[in-house]
Amino acid sequence: MKIFIHVNNNLKYKVADLDPKTKIGFLVKEFASELVSNQDYIEDVEVYIRNKKDDLDKGKSLKEVRIEEGSHLFVGRCKTVDVIINYAGQEYTVNVPSSTPARRIRKTALEHFCIAEDDGVDLLLWLDQATYLEDRNLIGSTTDYPECATKLLLASKEDVQGNPEEEVLAGHLNSPEFLSGELDKSWGLVKSEGPKWPFYVFWIQAKNGIKYHFRFDLTGYNQNAPTALLWNIETQAPLDPVEWPNWNKRAKQVFRLWGKQCLYLPIDRLALQGHNDWHQKHAYLMWKSLEDSITKYLLELYQILNY
């Protein structure tokens, strides 16, 4: 029968095809050979079945201790593990059997930090920035004797590894094109509004002395074009149409109610949908995937508000 073997300090567990009559002690010699080569350690290495705290009798067979096909076993020297979990700067420590799967520890952590399962669906347990625990990993595999302790981070992939879309935007916000407009006080990022990806709020100075705010949805940036709408930063809602700029034909054309919650501009992702003729009529305002930046959109808005 096939069973899965987990050992100390190795998240890659192995599959073993064994006869049900195989003795538990064989697993120790076979899968912890670097330890049992030192006879002083052989008695310290134990075998545990997943989610069970008691070690198995090495003199008995797999069949005798009721090991079933597909079972996960831990072979190692740590009976229990102190798990320190960090979430948003808070720490939680729990001692669990080394055979405890990551899935159970994650569930315990969510309960401790009062995170509903639906809200924590994207949260994973991380050993470092490149390694997170899969549900089947046993916690004993993250450490070894005599430490028998591990530190984990409860976070999403974006929190740990970063969002490549945000990194692209960060580079564009440090570009000469954006910074020159910011230094000229033509536009800027409203940092107090978050930002919470994918929504960013920018302000643009108009010729009437008013700073108009625009809330951008940057989903898929910069492969896809942004979409934006006039925004009231005090009410955190779309700006009332009575306050929209309307002093010339161009402003009235762009800032108007027309069925979609976005500006009527060819560079806008939502506005472009259904306007196939814009590709030829307004070629200069087409978003070039992976080439253009937020500054192109801001510059067009600045020109509309100042001419």
Nearest to 105 by CA among 76, 80, 85: 85
Same domain assignment for residues 36 and 126: no
Q: What is the DSSP letter of 152?
A: E
At 109-120, the pLDDT tens digits run 999 999 998 889
Same domain assignment for residues 113 and 185: no
Q: What is the pLDDT of residue 35?
A: 53
Q: How far, in Å, CA of 291 to CA of 287, rounded?
A: 8
Q: Which helix (H) or strand (E) holds 27?
A: helix 24-31
Same domain assignment for residues 237 and 185: yes
Q: Which helix (H) or strand (E) holds 124?
A: strand 124-128
Domain ends where: 76, 99, 129?
76
Ranges of the chain whose pLDDT falls below 70: 33-43, 193-195
Strands of the sheet containing 187-189, edge to edge, are: 187-189, 199-205, 211-217, 227-232, 237-238
Domain ends where: 135, 160, 185?
160
Q: What is the pLDDT of residue 303?
A: 96
Q: Which helix (H) or strand (E) holds 11?
A: strand 10-17
Q: What is the pLDDT of residue 123?
A: 93
Task: Tell me the Ramachandran region of residue 8: left when phi exceeds 0, alpha when psi lies from -120 to 50, beta otherwise.
Answer: beta
Q: What is the pLDDT of residue 62?
A: 95
User: Which CB contacts under 8 angstroms, 24+ apart, belong to 164-172?
Assistant: 165/197, 165/198, 165/218, 165/220, 165/221, 165/222, 166/197, 168/221, 168/222, 169/200, 169/218, 169/221, 169/222, 169/294, 172/222, 172/293, 172/294, 172/295
CATH of the domain at 22: 3.10.20.90
Q: What is the pLDDT of residue 43?
A: 62
The pTM for the full model equals: 0.58
Same domain assignment for residues 150 and 190: no
Domain residues for the domain of 138 are 80-160
- Structural domain count, the chain: 3
At 199-215, the pLDDT tens digits run 999 999 999 999 999 99
Same domain assignment for residues 48 and 105: no
Q: What is the pLDDT of residue 162?
A: 77
Q: What is the pLDDT of residue 39?
A: 47
